[in-house]
Structure 1
Amino acid sequence: MMENQAKKLKRTITLVRILIKYGFEELLIRSNIRSLLSPSATEADSFESDGEKLSFNVYERIRMALEELGPTYVKFGQAFSTREDLLPKDMIVELQKLQDKVEPEALDVRGFIEADLGVEPDQLFKHIESEPFASASISQVYKATLKNGSAVILKIKRGGIREVVASDMLIMKDVAKLLVSYSEVFRKVNLVEVLEAFEKSIFHELSFLNELSNIEQFSRNFNDNKDIYLIKTYPELSNDNILCMEYVDGVKITDKPVLIEMGLEPAEIAARGLDLYLTQVLDHGFFHADPHPGNLLVLASGQIAFIDFGTMGSMMPKDKEQLEDFISYFIAQDARRLIAVIKKMAIRFSIPDETKLEKDIHDFFNLLEGSSLHQMDVKEVLSKFSGILNENEILMPEHLYLLVRGIVLIEGIGRALVPDLNIIESLKPYILKIALARLSPEYLQKKGIKFLRTMADALKTVPDDLVSIVSKLNSGELKVVQEVRELPALQERIVQGFNRTVFAIVLCGVWISSALLVLADKPPKWSGIPALAWIGFAISAVLMLILLISYIFGKKPGKKI
């Protein structure tokens, strides 16, 4: 604990020095960040602004300060580089300049491998380059050749990087709490929650075993897809500090002239890349969270290889289904249902005026209608929609923010290859696929059984709940004081609602039974479907019609129960 506090204090002093160097002393005073330092620390260090640095505008100075503060702050800035709904455009431009590239540090690669893996490098490798061909804030990457002649890369974690990130995160969380307490703006953008999601993401990226697991799951998902090249990994030569995988000799996906020289059609490559990404999101629910051009390589065969799996987006089946609903209602421009599914998806929301929210979304749809599809910028569309969510303090789960970033990057790649690419049009086949899947007997059977189980579980608890309520009423623990006007009308509505619920359960039962009969495949048949199933579906249709009429005209379906 004392060691962590000492590291935190040291990094805090560095933070204060750099902020003052770039002219942000007023921020320190307003947010009281200096309170994080002990008096002895502030007296021992003199902080002075750098006059040369102050000649740059404020957004340039923010970017330069983040770069000097190191990997944690650079990655945090990169995470906000697509949040045009939150930050000024000029600041977004500067954040997008942030490069996760640092000078390589001296490293005895062979000695590191021997110490960390416990094996003699010459037993496994024919050759290992002593200088890295890529150097980032978290790791350095070296080319090597295995004894069997296979070309591989060795991704080696920088020494002490986990400790640096851990101390940075402690400071950033303290600063976030101060900023939230001093400014309503930071509270509304959910700064603390955003920072928690970022912390989770960066520590996942620090674990090479986590990245290895991501690559293996990604490969299983695309096992039968010929359009993608799946990178081979070497688990026996990997651990939490070293990741060994196949070296892929490919071309950056946005290098259009080289693609044409290779005899490849840029439009086909763009369509293939978009299709592969949408497959990850809508089919697998497990997607690459940073698909920038440097992480997508094109091989001579036309296959696309994704690299760098440190951060992935992941969705549970429920999340994926809600995303499908969101996309369907968005494309259909159904504002009311869109708001309903947003509430289900949100971690937290505070909608002051739902009617205004619905109107804002309708206005947003009208704006889209008035724009030419081929001129539509997905980044701008998502930014405007995120702005509507932020006004209502709607906090969405982390995987959605990762998805938005991914879609913006993929659309940028597509437009670099095909200027008039329209990603909205590309989504429509997936919407049709989702709609057809939800009309299948298997899906209806699954949802019907789930509904009946939910109802059965609810009904099981009703007797016990009633007994408990009556017991509390008798003992005087629970008292109900309520004035009910127009009681007969209220009783009528309650009975009517109960009747409709029971009627709906019967309707579901008949529909599910009919679907099961389809799967049973028993004669006699008509158009390939058993006659009994047709009868069941017909009864279901009649019952549905009666139920709809009862809702429209206020009549009860059947006698009172």
Structure 2
Amino acid sequence: MIKISIRRTYRFQEIVNTFLKNGFSHVLFRLGITERRAAATMKNEPMDMNLQHIGQKLNRTLQELGPTFIKLGQIASTRRDLVPAEIIRELEKLQDHAEPFSFEEVQQIIEKELGKPLNDLFESFNDKPLATASIGQVHEAFLYTGEKVAVKVQRPDIRQTVDTDLSILKEIASLIENNTDWGKLYGVRSIINEFADSLLSELDYENEGRNAERIARQAKKDSSVYIPEIHWDLTSKKVLTMEMIEGIKSNDINTLDERGYDRKLLARRIVNSMFSQVLDHGFFHGDPHPGNIYIMPGNVISFIDFGMIGVMDDDLKLQFAKLIMELERGSTKGIIKVMDSMGILSDETNIKSLQKDLGMLKTKYYDVPLQNMSLGEIFMDLFGVAYRHQIKIPNEITVLGKTILTLEGLISKLDPAMSIMDGVEPFGKKLIKEYYSPSSLLKNAWESVSENAEILANIPRDFKDISTAAKKGKLKLDINLRQTSFILRRMDIISNRLAFSVILLAFSILMTGLIIGSAIAGENNMLLNLPVIEIGAIVAFLMFVFLLFSIFRSGRM
């Protein structure tokens, strides 16, 4: 416990000194991390408010602080809704390079993790790494079956370093949230917690292996995609052994051309595979840069390295598909409606100003042919608008935006004429069509009825609680008068819909009574030669259909 405390204190001081050295003393003082005299020692530090210069200094600082902070910077570079574009451009230059660690350490880690001598596990093992990063490095090896494999080995003591850094980052996040309006608005603590979960997941190689197998199951019926096999008997949390992919890097255009590969077909297959992962399954490769996509004989695509994964639930997939459709239509009102459905607009959001900025974005892409549009750039522009209006975009969408931007860079080299928009549009339309299919509508309607029935059942108890609180003088009202007309309009729609539902219910009960009464009395159901019950049933059904239509049209089940 004492060692942990000493290590943590030493690392905290190292972090503070690195930020001080690179010109962030006033920031540290403002956050309450350093005292005034520490900032005073840097009085000659230039107060440069140029965001690009700040980004350069931040890049240098994070690079010096090592893997945890490099990863943090790389993730921050995807958050254009949180960070100014000038700083992001500098953070995008962060490189995850590191010196290789020794073969003796590699052997020691493998033998400790897998419980056997290296020679018993592998027929041969190349002591020179194929690739090196801050978290681990990859070696080539052969099994006794003759199969060639790639063995990823985690850097010694990296987990200990990351744990210490994350605990410090969480404290700094608390200081930022407590001492700055920006920190409060965006909930910096929750952002750092998300980052911590993502990084710790990446440090678990068994988790990476499970990710690979899940992507493989998703692509099982697609013969144009191949995912390397995981050797679980040679895998642990710190060692990952997988089939070696013998292929060409997807951005090695000259070699692809020399060997007669169809680049247009490859581009289409990569795009189809990625958006199938995103919109069909909601589980996708989060870092599809050229080094993680190989081309195999027969124009087959192979993805590797599944440490970074994106996840989209059904609701977020639908909202993303709707957003794509609204972007294509150029509907600013539609985009705002989708944002509202995602729950990212607050009471403080100036809707008119937001609509104006989105209108300017629309003008930028007006008259641009669909095939010439960059979906990644559109998303980055959209995130920039979100930043100006202090709108926090869901992390899953920002990961997807960065993924699309990375993918577009590769696709533009394989097939300059292809547009990502062309590739995503069919998947979006298919998803929306499935959502509004009769079976899906009935399922959602039943879930809505169940939820509303529970709410109605709890109304007497809720009124009793309100009444009790009022009698005790403990009832508090928090009324925000911003956008009052919008709120009243929504309340009017809700009250009308509730009244319509009550009328429909009463009418249905009346019709049920008539049917039962006529059956008991043994009389026909004719009135003035008209089949009353049949007509009533049709009216009730039409009312029910109208109610469903109005609910689904609003996009709020």
Report the TM-score when normalising by structure 1: 0.78
* Aligned equivalent of 2:119, options 92, 99, 122: 122
Match of 1:145 in 2: 142
Following superposition, the deviation at residue 303 of structure 1 comes to 1.1
SS in 2 for 1:34: coil
* Aligned equivalent of 1:72, options 63, 68, 78: 68
Match of 1:15 in 2: 15
- 1:313 matches 2:318: no
- Structure 1 residues 224, 346: CA separation in 2 closer, same or farther (over 3 Å shift)? same
SS in 2 for 1:309: coil
Following superposition, the deviation at residue 244 of structure 1 comes to 0.8
- Structure 1 residues 193, 471: CA separation in 2 closer, same or farther (over 3 Å shift)? closer
Match of 2:441 in 1: 444
Query: In the alignment, residue 431 of structure 1 is paired with which amino acid?
Result: G
Following superposition, the deviation at residue 356 of structure 1 comes to 3.0
Match of 2:98 in 1: 102
Query: For 1:30 and 1:151, how far apart are their aligned partners in 2?
Result: 55
8 A Cα contact 2:333 2:355, kept in partner: yes
Q: In the TM superposition, what whole-angstrom CA distance separates every residue of 1:118-159 from its partner, at most 9, and x where no partner exists?
A: 123333311111221111111111111001011111111111
SS in 1 for 2:228: coil
Match of 2:524 in 1: none
Query: In the alignment, residue 77 of structure 1 is paired with which amino acid?
Result: G
SS in 2 for 1:144: strand
Deviates more, 1:269-278 or 1:72-81: 72-81
* Aligned equivalent of 1:235, options 228, 232, 237: 232
8 A Cα contact 1:133 1:143, kept in partner: yes
Query: For 1:155 and 1:313, how far apart are their aligned partners in 2?
Result: 21
Match of 2:523 in 1: none
Structural mapping, 1:305-384, within 5 Å: 305-346=302-343, 349-384=346-381
Deviates more, 1:447-456 or 1:307-316: 447-456
Please report the RMSD computed on the Cα atoms of aligned residues, expressed in angstroms: 4.0
8 A Cα contact 2:263 2:415, kept in partner: yes
- Structure 1 residues 389, 48: CA separation in 2 closer, same or farther (over 3 Å shift)? closer
Query: In the alignment, residue 260 of structure 2 is paired with which amino acid?
Result: G
- 1:257 matches 2:254: yes
- 1:391 matches 2:388: yes
Following superposition, the deviation at residue 427 of structure 1 comes to 2.2
Q: Percent identity?
A: 30
Match of 1:283 in 2: 280
Following superposition, the deviation at residue 426 of structure 1 comes to 2.4
Q: In the TM superposition, what whole-angstrom CA distance separates every residue of 1:75-94 from its partner, at most 9, and x where no partner exists?
A: 11111234455555554343
Query: For 2:271 and 2:425, how far apart are their aligned partners in 1?
Result: 13
8 A Cα contact 1:113 1:121, kept in partner: yes
Match of 1:525 in 2: none
SS in 2 for 1:369: coil
Query: For 1:479 and 1:494, how far apart are their aligned partners in 2?
Result: 28
8 A Cα contact 2:321 2:432, kept in partner: no
Following superposition, the deviation at residue 104 of structure 1 comes to 0.6
Query: For 1:548 and 1:146, how far apart are their aligned partners in 2?
Result: 61
- 1:136 matches 2:129: no
Following superposition, the deviation at residue 74 of structure 1 comes to 1.1
Query: For 2:376 and 2:61, how far apart are their aligned partners in 1?
Result: 26
Following superposition, the deviation at residue 370 of structure 1 comes to 4.2
Structural mapping, 1:127-526, within 5 Å: 127-188=124-185, 190-346=187-343, 349-462=346-459, 465=462, 468=464, 472=468, 497-502=497-502
Consecutive unaligned residues in structure 1, runs of 5 or more: 51-55, 481-491, 510-534, 552-561
Query: For 1:408 and 1:537, how far apart are their aligned partners in 2?
Result: 54
8 A Cα contact 2:177 2:184, kept in partner: yes
- Structure 1 residues 25, 500: CA separation in 2 closer, same or farther (over 3 Å shift)? closer
8 A Cα contact 1:204 1:310, kept in partner: yes
8 A Cα contact 2:78 2:398, kept in partner: no
Query: In the alignment, residue 261 of structure 1 is paired with which amino acid?
Result: E
Query: For 2:231 and 2:207, how far apart are their aligned partners in 1?
Result: 14
- Structure 1 residues 503, 430: CA separation in 2 closer, same or farther (over 3 Å shift)? farther
Query: For 2:234 and 2:189, how far apart are their aligned partners in 1?
Result: 38
8 A Cα contact 1:85 1:384, kept in partner: no
Query: For 2:184 and 2:471, how far apart are their aligned partners in 1?
Result: 44
Query: For 1:334 and 1:505, how far apart are their aligned partners in 2?
Result: 37
Q: In the TM superposition, what whole-angstrom CA distance separates every residue of 1:37-91 from its partner, at most 9, and x where no partner exists?
A: xx9xx9xxx99999xxxxx965444323222211011111111234455555554
Query: For 2:395 and 2:546, how far apart are their aligned partners in 1?
Result: 44
Q: In the TM superposition, what whole-angstrom CA distance separates every residue of 1:451-478 from its partner, at most 9, and x where no partner exists?
A: 3322333333345556x379859x9568
Q: In the TM superposition, what whole-angstrom CA distance separates every residue of 1:352-390 from its partner, at most 9, and x where no partner exists?
A: 323333343344334322444444333432222112223
Following superposition, the deviation at residue 508 of structure 1 comes to 12
Query: For 1:325 and 1:548, how far apart are their aligned partners in 2?
Result: 20
